[in-house]
């Protein structure tokens, strides 16, 4: 949970990167992702990671990306151990382990700099059905509300003598019942109210709903997109033709 919220939940930011068109950010992250797959040596991988770290710094999200990397390190350590055991090849194992970190970072940069609003636009671009997009939107919208609900429910039950940390495993699981039932009931009530409010505001009335937001790519967006493509091409070219293959 901590790892998730640190690495993938959007927080408001005002850097040039935050303000980019979500499509440019998506393209950039996708290309970084592919580049990590292309890198064939530790040296190349270090280059890719260094680039992403530089980008995070420019986007003022270095701290959060660093935290993501720290958390991911646990998993990548596991990958390293498994690889060493099976391949007995230290370099390959290091490469795979760092590649995992790099993959997570490339996606994380996209998610922490892209607002839910922009995510919604991206989903629409992929022609996902409106209901699916809207379900996603409301789910994300109500995460903080439900977290607050959970705290209030826990407070109320603790005030009635419920001790969550007491007893053996079975007892602890049973102690969750007084928390979970009100949470579910509240969510059901809430969805009923949401459904009414949606109806009252003509959800689904027009076959082609419009959108207040317009994503018109500005020069800087196109510039960044082009730069991403050029850098990607450059990286791919040098990985295969310039940097001497030390490995495998």
Partner 1 sequence: MGDILKIEGLNFRYPESPRNAVSDFELSIPEGEIAVLAGPSGCGKSTLLRTVNGLIPHMYGGEYSGDVIVAGSSVKGSSMRDLAQTVGFLFQNPENQIFMFTVERDVAFGLENLGVPREEMRSRVDEALRLLRIGDLAQRAPHELSDGQKQRVALAGVLAMRPKLVILDEPTSLLDPKTASELVTLVARLREELGTTFVVVEHRLDLLVGVADRLVVMDGGRKVLEGSPRDVLFGDDAEAHGVAIPAVTRVQKALTESKGGRAVAGGLLTPSELASAVEGRRR
Partner 2 sequence: MIEFRGVTFVHQNGVKALDGVSLRVEAGEFVALVGENGAGKTTLVKHVTGLLKPASGSVLVDGVDTKEASTAQLSRKVGVAFQNPDHQLFSETVEEEMSFALRNFGFSPELVRNRVTWGLELFGLEEYRKSSPLVLSGGEKKRLTLACILAWDPQVVILDEPTVGQDSIQKERLAGTIQMLKSAGKTVMVVSHDIEFLWPIQPRVVVMKGGRVVGDGPSADLMQDRDLLGSARVAQPQLVEFYQELHRRPGTPFVHALDAARWAEESLQP
Q: Which of 205, 216, 241, 242 binds partner 1 (CB under 8 A)?
A: 205
Stretch that binds partner 1, among 15-23, 40-48, 49-57, 208-216 (CB under 8 A): 208-216
Q: How far apart, in whole angstroms, are the C-alpha atoms of residue 17 and residue 227? A: 13
Using CB under 8 A as the binding rule, whether residue 216 contacts partner 1 is answered as: no
Q: How far apart, in whole angstroms, are the C-alpha atoms of residue 31 and residue 22? A: 14
Q: Please report, as ranges, the residues that interact with partner 2 according to CB under 8 A.
A: 149, 152-153, 155-163, 177-178, 181-182, 185-186, 189
Start-to-end CA span in the chain (Å): 37
Residue 88's contacts (CB-CB under 8 Å, 6 or more residues apart) are none
Least distance (Å) from partner 1 to the CB of residue 115?
Answer: 6
- Nearest residue to 61 via CA among 100, 6, 104, 117: 6
Tell me the per-residue interface mask from 154 to 193 with partner 1, x by CB under 8 A, - otherwise: ------------------------------------x--x
Least distance (Å) from partner 1 to the CB of residue 18?
Answer: 13
Tell me the per-residue interface mask from 11 to 40 with partner 1, x by CB under 8 A, - otherwise: -x----------------------------
Using CB under 8 A as the binding rule, whether residue 138 contacts partner 1 is answered as: yes
Please, which residue, 11 or 19, has the CB nearer to partner 2? 11
CA 47 from chain centre, in angstroms, equals: 23
Cβ atoms of 113 and 59 closer than 8 Å:
yes
Cβ atoms of 103 and 33 closer than 8 Å:
yes
Residue 18 main-chain phi, psi, to 5 deg: -60, -35
Q: Which does 178 bind (CB under 5 to 8 A by kind): partner 1, partner 2, none?
A: partner 2
């Amino acid at each position: 949970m901590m790892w998730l919220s640190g690495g993938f939940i959007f927080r408001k930011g005002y850097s040039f990167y935050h303000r980019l068109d979500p499509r440019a950010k998506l393209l950039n992250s996708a290309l970084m992702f592919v580049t990590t797959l292309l890198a064939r040596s530790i040296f190349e991988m270090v280059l890719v990671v260094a680039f992403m770290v530089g980008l995070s710094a420019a986007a003022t999200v270095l701290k959060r990306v660093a935290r993501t990397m720290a958390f991911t390190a646990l998993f990548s350590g596991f990958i390293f151990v498994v690889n060493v055991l099976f391949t007995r090849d230290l370099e390959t194992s290091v490469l795979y382990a760092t590649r995992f970190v790099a993959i997570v970072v490339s996606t994380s940069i996209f998610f922490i700099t892209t607002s839910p609003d922009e995510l919604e636009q991206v989903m629409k671009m992929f022609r996902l059905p409106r209901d699916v997009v809207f379900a996603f939107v409301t789910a994300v919208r109500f995460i903080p509300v439900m977290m607050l609900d959970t705290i209030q429910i826990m407070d109320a039950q603790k005030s009635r003598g419920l001790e969550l940390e007491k007893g053996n495993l079975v007892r602890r699981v049973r102690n969750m019942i007084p928390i979970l039932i009100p949470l579910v009931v509240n969510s059901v009530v809430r969805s009923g109210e949401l459904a009414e409010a949606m109806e009252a505001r003509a959800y689904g009335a027009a076959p082609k709903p419009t959108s207040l937001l317009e994503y018109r790519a500005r020069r800087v967006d196109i510039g960044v997109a082009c730069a991403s493509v050029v850098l990607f091409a450059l990286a791919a070219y040098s990985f295969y033709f310039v940097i001497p293959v030390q490995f495998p």
